[in-house]
């Protein structure tokens, strides 16, 4: 096997690591735009109501943003290992690399980064995505990786999640990710309904919907956790073993689920213990004069009261 301009013939192009996911950026930008739009209203709100409004808007938008963003993140499970391993097939050359595995709801990302990045006259910095969501063909993506001549560590890790692999984890991850994603979309719908109810004089039902949102978020975690019921095949990179653990997205979703429970329980409890304080926080408290239908005071001229007379309307002179 010979070199052509410093690149092996079966590796015609050098891949670059994917730093940002476009879908994630779009979702974050949309929710930040909504937050800025709502915050523009705050100068017209007086007193403590301004603080309450800001807190409600930012907290609610944060919950909704996380529920949507984690659909596209790839760090529900992550793992890293540093090892000396062969870089390409049929080559005895060893390189020192960091191999990362990032598992999301829709697929798996395999990262390969050299230590240093430039070795054997090549830049070793890869991030390859292999989708397994419904409508995507994992085997086709893996075949494309073989045709492109991806480095051996990436193909080795990706092969562990294929259908033909004896590890037999492809079906578990695919189904678990599908049901976790579907449950999160249901949680997003209940989040929208809870915000609608909290803007109306039915605050307790908004609290119930927040509890339901938290329940669906926790159900999504339980759905994804079912993959741990089947043993994971060891992923051997050189002399080291790559282990995976729950990543940032998993723990962030757990925190959001618990936050929804806290908010929902607080709203329901305040509805039964101190309804006036709850209405004040949500800016739904009516003025007491309007509640009691009180009439404004009437002022009477004491002169007419003493004389027993009533004021006469001015006379109109006829022409």
Query: How high is the mean pLDDT in each 10-residue block of the chain (319 residues)?
Result: 42 43 86 88 77 88 94 90 86 88 91 88 88 85 88 90 85 90 95 91 91 96 85 84 91 95 93 86 60 49 55 53
Gyration radius from the chain CA atoms: 32
Alpha-carbon span 254 to 194, nearest angstrom? 19
Query: What pLDDT is stored for residue 289 in this prediction?
Result: 37
* Each residue's pLDDT tens digit, 186-197: 999 999 999 999
Query: What pLDDT is stored for residue 216 in this prediction?
Result: 96
List of residues 6+ apart from 111 with CB closer than 8 A: 17, 98, 99, 100, 101, 102, 126, 127
Per DSSP, the residues of 262-284 read: HHHHHHHHHHHH-HHHHHHHTT-
CB 275 within 8 A of CB 282: no
Alpha-carbon span 264 to 258, nearest angstrom? 10
Q: Is the pTM of this model over 0.85?
A: no
Alpha-carbon span 97 to 111, nearest angstrom? 10
* Each residue's pLDDT tens digit, 99-135: 999 999 988 999 999 888 888 888 888 888 899 887 7
List of residues 6+ apart from 254 with CB closer than 8 A: 218, 221
Query: What pLDDT is stored for residue 98 in this prediction?
Result: 92
The CA-CA-CA angle for residues 305, 308, 312, to 5°, reads 90
Query: What pLDDT is stored for residue 283 in this prediction?
Result: 75
CB 106 within 8 A of CB 174: no
In the chain, where does DSSP find H-type helix?
22-39, 48-69, 138-148, 152-159, 170-198, 203-225, 248-273, 275-281, 288-291, 302-307
- Considering only CA atoms, which of 9, 33, 29, 32 is closest in space to residue 21? 29
Q: Provide the CB-side half-sphere exposure for 183 (13 A, CA).
A: 22
Per DSSP, the residues of 102-139 read: EE-SSEEEEEEEEEEEEETTEEEEEEEEEE-STT--HH
The CA-CA-CA angle for residues 266, 268, 271, to 5°, reads 105
Query: What pLDDT is stored for residue 293 in this prediction?
Result: 46
Query: What pLDDT is stored for residue 308 in this prediction?
Result: 54
The residue extents of the domains of the chain are 77-166
Query: What pLDDT is stored for residue 137 in this prediction?
Result: 84
154: tokens are: 């990436």
């Amino acid at each position: 096997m010979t070199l052509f301009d410093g690149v092996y013939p079966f590796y015609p192009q050098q891949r670059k690591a994917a730093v940002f996911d476009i879908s994630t950026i779009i979702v974050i930008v949309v929710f930040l735009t909504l937050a800025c739009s709502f915050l523009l209203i705050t100068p017209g709100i007086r007193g403590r109501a301004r603080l309450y409004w800001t807190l409600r808007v930012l907290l609610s938008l944060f919950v909704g943003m996380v529920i949507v963003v984690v659909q596209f993140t790839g760090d529900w499970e992550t793992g890293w290992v540093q090892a000396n391993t062969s870089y390409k097939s049929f080559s005895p050359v060893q390189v020192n690399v960091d191999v990362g595995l990032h598992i999301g709801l829709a697929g798996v990302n395999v990262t390969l980064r050299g230590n240093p990045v430039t070795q054997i006259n090549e830049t070793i910095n890869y991030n390859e995505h292999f989708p397994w969501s419904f409508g995507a063909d994992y085997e086709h993506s893996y075949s494309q990786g073989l045709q492109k001549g991806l480095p051996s560590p990436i193909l080795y890790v990706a092969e562990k999640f294929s259908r033909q692999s004896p590890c037999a984890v492809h079906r578990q991850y695919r189904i678990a990710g599908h049901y976790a994603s579907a449950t999160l979309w249901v949680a997003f719908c209940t989040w929208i309904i809870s915000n609608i109810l909290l803007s109306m004089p039915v605050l307790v039902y908004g609290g119930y919907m927040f509890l339901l949102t938290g329940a669906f978020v926790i159900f999504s975690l339980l759905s994804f956790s079912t993959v741990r019921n089947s043993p994971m095949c060891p992923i051997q990179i050189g002399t080291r073993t790559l282990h995976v653990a729950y990543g940032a997205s998993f723990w962030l979703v757990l925190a959001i689920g618990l936050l929804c429970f806290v908010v929902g329980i607080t709203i329901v409890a305040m509805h039964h213990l101190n309804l006036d304080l709850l209405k004040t926080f949500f800016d739904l408290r009516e003025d007491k004069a309007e509640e009691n239908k009180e009439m404004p005071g009437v002022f009477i001229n004491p002169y007419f009261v003493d004389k027993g007379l009533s004021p006469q309307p001015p006379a109109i002179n006829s022409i």
